[in-house]
Structure formats: structure tokens, C-alpha cells
Amino acid sequence: MADKVALITGVTGQDGAYLAEFLLKKGYIVHGVKRRSSLFNTDRIDHLYQDPHVENRNFILHYGDLTDSTNLIRIIQQVQPDEIYNLAAQSHVGVSFETPEYTANADGLGTLRILEAIRILGLEKKTRFYQASTSELYGLVQEVPQKETTPFYPRSPYAVAKLYGYWITVNYREAYGMYACNGILFNHESPIRGETFVTRKITRAVARIALGLQDCLYLGNLSALRDWGHARDYVEMQWLMLQQEQPEDFVIATGVQFSVRQMVETAAAEVGIKIRWEGEGKEVIGIVEAVVGEKGEGRGEKAGTAPAPGTVIVRIDPRYFRPTEVETLLGDPTKAKEKLGWVPRTSFQELVREMVLSDLEEAKRDELCRRGGFSTFSYYE
């Protein structure tokens, strides 16, 4: 049988990179859609890159954008994919309040454009479609834990755009008999998570604070509760959803919940920093209580750079609060367990450790550059 062909939108993102690697290992020919940018934007997939001058490549990139129908039709026509994974999106909830129209266009209408392209090209029976839906659909939660049948109540322009993406996928499945399905994925993170999502912002800051490269971590809502898993585990489920006899929607989650505050404590503990909290609400601060234990290699104490006990290393900055917040999310992955054999392989502690260790490596490189008199990236959004 000929190799299967997959098309991934958002291939330069966190999930796109893990999924491309996963599908290549499975023997797929993988095509990815990347946006044009003024600088290279392929850091996460550079290890998979193949010289376009070489024949018989199995990893091929195309310029494209979810806001451009003709471009999408042309790529899909050329590629004739067996499977399309629609991972591209303006995926930052906070930013969606600042760019609501663009977010609706890319995340909502972008999904419609791909589904229509499949139909226009007469590929309804050939091409299977995966839509990156999200736990943000539950928003103001109506039921705990959340499962496939829990009613939606989106709380951001991002979530409202994704609601359209969810329902148009269901509609095309029902109207045209397409194999189209939604993965309702809860938060999933990794060392290549975007730096402005809260987990990565925390692990990166903690590593830099331990090495004396950063003084303070500024955060918004510390009480928000999330069900955090590892992206590597979740992309496998995206693929499995397209390998079933019938297309169905699935919740993918760990079923365990932690707060942003616990995330900070867990990450700080990885570099041997014990945090004490003082104050209430927006006045709360995180103070170094002690530098202890034999934790991560980059523990500042060794280099004489760990902040001294009593130093304030976490503060609240109101700019990171959202106009409407999703306070709590907790998934019930029972359906995925039963039908897809889903077992989350990575615990919260393992995930945080992997992220902190990777950010320590990056911070050490920055430290070396600084010692050598070179300036380094120090943007703390």
C-alpha cells in the first residue's frame, strides 16, 4: 500500500511539530502549511527539515494561511491528503481579546475554508479531517468534570471562534458524510510550548531567576485551575481519532487539576526554591523562603546566583487578567480511554520537570552569551 499522505496546518506550532515527528515515524508523507514571516519561523521543526533540492522527500512545507481560501484549495489540490490536521490558529486566549476579528477569521472561518476546499475538490470520501477543538469551549463550566456532552459556554473571542470551528466540523460530517471530527483537547504543554502561555512563562522565568538572569515573574490570575497534560501524548490521540471506523468527537484530558499558583510552586521546587506567599488577591507576592535540596543541575545556589531568602520573585500584574476568565477546567477522558485506549503517560510533575530542565539549558546558553559580552533575548510578556 502506498504511504499515507497527511497535511498539517500550524506545522510550525507546538502540536504541529510533535505531530509531524509522530506521523513521519509512522511512515507518512507529511506536508505542512507555514506562514510567511520576515524571519525564519521553523525552529520547532528544523530537525525535520529536508532540503527542497533533494528528491523523494517525505516532509514538505508550503506557504499558506488560513485566511486565504484560494491558497488552501491549491495546496489541498496538489497534496491530495488522506488526512488533514487543522492545528493552525491564533491560539492565545488573552491575545484574542485584542485581535478578536482576526481570531474569528483564522480560527472560525479558517476551519470552514478547509472543509469547503475538501468539498470543492470532491475529496469528501478520501480526506479525513481533524479539528483542533478545545476545553475553552466549556468556559463558564456547566458540569464538573467536563465531557463530550457537557454544554458549551465560551468566554473569549478565541473560544467563540473555536465554537464555530467545532460546529461547522460537526455540520459537514452530518451534511456531507465526511470523516470529520473534533478533538476537545484540554491544555497540553511541553518544552516547546509558546513562551507566553502560563506554564512556559513560569518554567522559563524560574530557570532564569535561578541563574540570576531575571528578577521577578509577573503573572495574572494565580487561582485559575487547569488540567495540564503533555503535548507529546496528545498528538497521538489526534492521529488515533482519524483511524476509527466512524468519526466521533473526543475529550482528551488527564482528569487531574492544578492551579497556576501550584504550577509556580512545582516549577520553583525543581530549581530548589521554596516559595512563601504573602498578601491577598492582586496584592499577593511570592517570596523565596529557602533555597533547598539537591534539585535541578542549574540550581542557582551552586553558581551563587540564587535569590536570597526574603527576595520577592513573583508579583501580580493586572494586565494579565482577562476581561472574562475561565476559572476552572477539568476533563473526563473516559470515552477516549474506552474507545481509543487513552492513557496519559506523563504526570504533571514529570511535565514540569521536563520543561524546567529544558529552560535551564536555554538560560545557561543565555548566561554564557552574557558573560561573553553578547546581549540576549529578555522579553517577559
Each residue 77-106 as x (binds ligand GDR by CB under 6 A) or -, in order, gives --------------x-xx------------
Catalytic residue flag (residue 134): yes
Q: Which is nearer to ligand GDR, 178 or 316 (CB)?
A: 316
Residue 13 interacting entry, from ligand NDP, ligand GDR, none, C-beta within 5 to 8 Å by type: ligand NDP
Sheet holding 312-316, edge to edge: 217-219, 312-316, 285-291, 273-278
Q: Shortest Cβ distance from residue 368 to ligand NDP (Å)? A: 27
Residues making contact with ligand NDP (CB under 6 A): 9-10, 12-16, 33, 35, 37, 41, 65-67, 87-91, 106, 132, 134, 185, 187-188, 194
Q: Which is nearer to ligand NDP, 100 or 194 (CB)?
A: 194
Contact (CB, 8 A) for 67 and 33: no
Q: Which of 9, 103, 127, 134 is catalytic?
A: 134
Cross-strand pairs, 128 = 83
Contacts of 81 (CB under 8 A, 6+ apart): 5, 6, 7, 31, 127
Residue count (the chain)? 381
Each residue 207-246 as x (binds ligand GDR by CB under 6 A) or -, in order, gives ------------xxx--x-x--------------------
Contacts of 1 (CB under 8 A, 6+ apart): none
Candidates 84, 117, 141, 198: give the one binding ligand GDR (CB under 6 A): 198
Residue 12 interacting entry, from ligand GDR, ligand NDP, none, C-beta within 5 to 8 Å by type: ligand NDP
**φ, ψ dihedrals at 349, nearest 5°:** -65, -40
The Cα 113–Cα 123 span in angstroms is 14
**φ, ψ dihedrals at 63, nearest 5°:** -75, 140
Contact (CB, 8 A) for 237 and 342: yes
Q: Shortest Cβ distance from residue 133 to ligand GDR (Å)? A: 8
- In DSSP notation, 334-374 reads HHHHHHH-------HHHHHHHHHHHHHHHHHHHHHHHHTT-
- Is residue 136 within the footprint of ligand GDR (CB under 6 A)? yes
Q: Shortest Cβ distance from residue 290 to ligand GDR (Å)? A: 25
The Cα 5–Cα 79 span in angstroms is 8
Catalytic residue flag (residue 320): no
Each residue 153-192 as x (binds ligand GDR by CB under 6 A) or -, in order, gives ---------------------------------xx-----
The Cα 263–Cα 92 span in angstroms is 19
Residue 104 interacting entry, from ligand NDP, ligand GDR, none, C-beta within 5 to 8 Å by type: none
Q: Shortest Cβ distance from residue 371 to ligand GDR (Å)? A: 29
Residue 108 interacting entry, from ligand GDR, ligand NDP, none, C-beta within 5 to 8 Å by type: none
Q: What burial class does residue 356 get, using C-beta atoms within 10 Å of its C-beta: 0-12 exposed, 13-18 middle, 19+ buried?
A: buried
User: C-alpha grid cell for residue 322?
Assistant: 482577562
Q: Which of 18, 158, 166, 234 is catalytic?
A: 158
Q: Which is nearer to ligand NDP, 37 or 375 (CB)?
A: 37
Q: What burial class does residue 278 get, using C-beta atoms within 10 Å of its C-beta: 0-12 exposed, 13-18 middle, 19+ buried?
A: exposed
Q: Shortest Cβ distance from residue 198 to ligand GDR (Å)? A: 4
Residue 260 interacting entry, from ligand GDR, ligand NDP, none, C-beta within 5 to 8 Å by type: ligand GDR
Catalytic residue flag (residue 116): no
Segment interacting with ligand GDR, rule: CB under 6 A, options 193-201, 264-272, 297-305, 370-378: 193-201
Contact (CB, 8 A) for 360 and 211: yes
Contact (CB, 8 A) for 64 and 71: yes
Mind telling me the catalytic residues? 134, 136, 158
- Residues forming the site for ligand GDR (CB under 6 A): 91, 93-94, 134-136, 186-187, 196-198, 201, 219-221, 224, 226, 260, 320, 322, 325-326
